[in-house]
Chains A and B, each alone.
Chain A
Amino acid sequence: MLHNHFRAALLVALVACVPGSVHAADEPFKVGYVYVSPIGDAGWTFQHDQGRKEMEKALGGKVVSKYVESVPEGADAERVIRELAQSGNKIIFTTSFGYMNPTLKVAKTFPKTDFEHATGYKTDANVGVYNARFYEGRYLAGQVAGKMTKSNVAGYVAAFPIPEVVMGINAFTRGMRSVNPKAEVKVVWTNSWYDPGREREAADTLMSQGADVLTHHTDSTATVQAAEAKKAYAIAYHSDMSKYGPNAQLTAVTHQWGAYYTKAVSDAMSGTWKPGNVWGGIKEGMIKMAPFNPVVPKDTQDLVNKTAADIGAGKFHPFTGPIKDNEGKERLAAGKVISDAELSKMDYYVEGVQGKLPK
């Protein structure tokens, strides 16, 4: 069905090219999105789709956007991206790491189309990359956890031991220990981005070992629900999940892509778009904290808001030395700020995380 849809779009595009039927001037600017999972109600893809809607709203009737969801990373992705380019989309956002090579490949054959690839690192004449500094939000989440825990143990349900996730664990731990030096973080790896049952089991396990604040780097809402069921606290990730845990969720680290999409699309419309390498955070509005649960005391809220403002203003970096790993080895000298290159290949746990990082 999807395929036919594209074929129809392709046909329309071809007809539009026939001399006499050209009316490009008043045609809306076309924007395409490729999503790796169903949009759903919370999570990675949901946030990108929220961003797409914000962009459409901000640019009024001048743009039409179209998305294709649940596109597997690999050969299918190339076909979908190519079809989006062929059907006249002028800028195409590919929102998963595994779309990197397909995006680059298609971009070569459509030099007049702009491409933006999320979380990748390879750029080209018409391919830009963008990502968010999720760790900034993690640090703030850690501060909330450190203030709210009674057992001084937080539990972290994590998917795969890759730098992106490890960075988040470390930022969370540093945030937590910045307000509560006795705090420890226990990590359980589910080896799956998405398996609500296992996430639930991992969360239950962490709580059975004394964790009273949970957070997660997996895609479902199961961790927040598990915390709600056991009357523990949770800090959600990707999206605000308060309706799944109205008492449990203290706040959430949310991704906001709307402003970025609006800017990229309007640049593309005016012809000023350039392939960039954007890694935005609180400052750029890409990372926002969800509203605090009323149980979080006022002074804690103020502290977190102040830290957020400092990070946004560039006055504070969550990874400022001294940084010791959890085996006692110094990784960054006092007063130094970690470089983006070091961050993006982080392969150790900082002090305060229990256990050993699986290799």
Chain B
Amino acid sequence: MLERHIQLLVTDDAGTEAPAATRDRLKVNFPAGATRRMTTLGLLVGSTLAPLEPSEDNPIVYASGYAESCALEAFLDSFPAPSPTLFQTSIHPSAVQQFMIGRQSPVREFLPLSGSTLLAFHAVRACMLSPAPRVILCGGEEKGTWLLQHGLASDRTFAFAASLGKGRADTSLGRIVIEASDGDAALGLPAFFDMLHKRTPFDGLVAPGWRLILEWR
């Protein structure tokens, strides 16, 4: 059994909010002028990460299946004169980098994961395998436009960030456990996000041979 305690958790479900409205809502969390080149996912992930105040010794595990879908779309549309800025921001873990670079905040270990039906499990497992006392688990997606029509982008916009510690404290919000178990199942990132966002308890299979237990206080 591998266990971590949830010390802090911040979630943001943009729901049906228009991207412009999401950006307008979140820009107050960043220095004036800093948001112009940030992606919507960067604003969301940055806004959830900020209250956790990640330090250099806190590994960051980042989970996103499709990541910077809108920057990818815009970069592809910028040909035959491709945009260097959009090229930079279209790389997979740019949402976290936009925030951390903005803060000039180095981090020893940064593990960006992608995937689909096992992504949540792989991200939680990466947190469990880290030897660090405190690990930051974060993730999110942004809704695509023409990539979504081809099944190559998320149909939702959301983000989360959780601080996971090794020991239980009086202020712990809950407990997350993975343990070996017979059976086969899958748990995508959106479903995992919903559990975090709604503080839903869970005890079930999430990957071949693995179950997840999520308990809230």
Decide whether A and B are members of one complex.
no
Which residues of B does A touch, CB under 8 Å? none
Residues of A within 8 A of B (CB): none
